[in-house]
Amino acid sequence: MINKKVKVYIAGHKGMVGSAVWRALEKKGYSNLIGKTSKDLDLRNQQEVFDFLKNEKPDIIIDAAARVGGILANNDFPYQFLMENMQIQNNLIEGALKTGVEKFIFLGSSCIYPKFAPQPLKEEYLLTDSLEPTNEWYAIAKITGVKACQAIRKQFKKDYVSLMPTNLYGYFDNFDLKSSHVLPAMLRKFHEAKTNNNASVNLWGSGTPMREFLFVDDMAEAVIYALENKLPEYLYNIGTGKDITIKELAETIQKVVGHKGQINWDLTKPDGTPRKLMDVSKMKELGWQYSTELEDGIEKTYKWFLKNIDSIKEVKLEAN
């Protein structure tokens, strides 16, 4: 059993994933958690990161910090999505190595896998073909983080592991329509249409691509599993192993929200990758699997959205 007083630094602890990890660790009795906001610590600044890690000396680092966004944001800000994500993760990984951190958990995204990789996506498909162009900048940054952690495992024998979640959603998600992912963007659109006399909702693409979604609290449990166990390999997929079409997702959100209007699909907009389903058998064999079904998770997320609607309407991109 791991000592619950171990010092854990959660980078990005105010974001959706980081805050879920923080809540889950607190719930399990971990009492020595560290977090810094972007105002207090700029993770893009190497010297600031190194000084912070040298002073705090965490035993474990969980890297949940990133610049994130959907297709539109990735398309409009390719340089920031590539460079800022590399700066954040490189500073944390190199700083961890230099200051003697023995365990590092790096969180990425399923977009690291090739656009037309066989389904479901296995860990060994990494770097076997070209990426989806609409988010390759973010994906390339995350791939370098995975490879950096793998290199440290190989060369320095440290317990640095990468967890690649499928599409995440839940409490503290980004609901800003210019920068959010598909599920929170849809949830907000359907809510606003409902309050506007059930106006019709316009959605991108054809609705035919298939996607997998994981409730963020389940992701947090996977992180804790990796924290409390020494995983034998460097890379693990985290997801449900089940997917649905974007059209089915829209209809599920519409049902949860209670919107009674029409859905219009804009075929001039891109669909993105046709399918992204994770093979989660490796984590399942080790003893972890998801617990929250999609409709239940959407209901929890919508309740949270309604409770916090005044403070989340204009969420902006944050580096960490």
φ/ψ bin of 272: left (φ > 0), alpha (ψ from -120 to 50), beta (otherwise): left
**SS3 assignment, position 165:** strand
Instruction: Tell me, yes or no, whether 320 lies in a domain.
Output: no
The rounded radius of gyration (Å) of the Cα atoms in the chain is 19
* Cβ-contact 281, 240 below 8 angstroms: no
For residue 317, tell me if it sits in a domain: no
Catalytic, 138? Answer: yes
* pLDDT 10s digits, 30-44: 999 999 999 999 999
Q: Does residue 137 lie in a domain region?
A: yes
* 189 belongs to an annotated ligand binding site: yes
Structure confidence at residue 320 (pLDDT): 35
Helix (H) or strand (E) holding 10: strand 8-11
pLDDT at 151: 98
- Hey, what are 268's tokens? 């001039």
Percent of the chain with pLDDT over 90: 83
| 118 inside domain | yes
Q: Find the DSSP H helices in 28-181.
A: 46-56, 71-76, 78-98, 136-156
Q: Is 19 annotated as a binding residue?
A: no
For residue 183, is pLDDT > 90? yes
Give residue 317's pLDDT: 37
The model's pLDDT over 252-265, given as tens digits with 9 standing for 90+, comes to 999 999 999 999 99
pLDDT tens-digit profile of 296-320?
999 999 999 999 998 875 544 333 3
pLDDT of residue 311: 81
- The annotation status of 44 as a binding-site residue, yes or no, is no
Number of domains in the chain: 1
Give the per-residue pLDDT at 319. 35
The values of phi and psi at residue 213, to 5°, are -135, 140
Q: Tell me, what's the pLDDT at 70?
A: 66
Q: Establish whether 203 is an annotated binding residue.
A: no
142 φ/ψ angles, rounded to the nearest 5 degrees: -65, -35
- Which structural domain range is residue 257 located in? 8-309
List pLDDT tens digits, range 143-157.
999 999 999 999 999
> For residue 101, which amino acid is it?
V
Annotated catalytic residue, options 9, 30, 113, 138: 138
Mean pLDDT in the chain? 93
- Asked if residue 114 belongs to a domain, the reply is yes
Tell which wins on pLDDT, 319 or 77. 77
Q: Look-up: residue for tokens 């003697």? A: 100
Check residue 121 and report its DSSP letter: B
CATH of the domain at 233: 3.40.50.720
Q: What is the distance between the alpha carbons of residues 211 and 74, in angstroms, rounded to a whole number?
A: 18
pLDDT at 104: 98
- Whole-number pLDDT of residue 116: 87
Establish whether 90 is an annotated binding residue.
no
Evaluate whether 110 touches 167 at the Cβ level (below 8 Å).
yes
pLDDT in tens, 235-255: 999 999 999 999 999 999 999
107 is in an annotated binding site: yes
**Structural tokens at position 27:** 């719930």
Q: Is residue 319 part of a domain?
A: no
- C-alpha span between 214 and 251 (Å, rounded): 17
Residue 314 located in a structural domain: no
**What percentage of residues in the chain have a pLDDT greater than 70?**
97
Distance CA 145, CA 85 (A): 9
Q: Cβ atoms within 10 A of the Cβ of 157, count?
A: 9
* Residue 184 dihedral angles phi and psi, to the nearest 5°: -65, -35
Q: Is 265 annotated as a binding residue?
A: no
Q: How confident is the model at residue 74 (pLDDT cuts 50, 70, 90)?
A: confident
Q: What is the largest CA-CA distance in the chain?
A: 61
